[in-house]
Amino acid sequence: KGSGAEKGKPAESAGTPRKGKVGPRAIEACYAALRAAHPDAHCELVHNNAFELVVATALSAQTTDVAVNKATPALFAAYPTPA
């Protein structure tokens, strides 16, 4: 006796969606709720494109956003593209 799960497989909770089953409406609702709760949210990392944002985000895991914003202008001047 137990949770009713098959041996070796976890039981699914009735309130927990399975992976990959979140639809567009749920995503839109979540996004709308976040925008309503944080209407002035913005990215502190200075960037001009997706490449710069990815690099700045990786760097920000190691130091502060202020330090990243000081270092990235010279970095991106020397290495403006991923290639």
Tokens of 18: 């399975």
For residues 77 and 83, give the distance between their C-alpha atoms in angstroms, rounded to a whole number. 14
Pick out the chain residues at pLDDT < 50: none
Tell me, what's the pLDDT at 21?
82
For residues 58 and 71, give the distance between their C-alpha atoms in angstroms, rounded to a whole number. 13
Tell me, what's the pLDDT at 68?
98
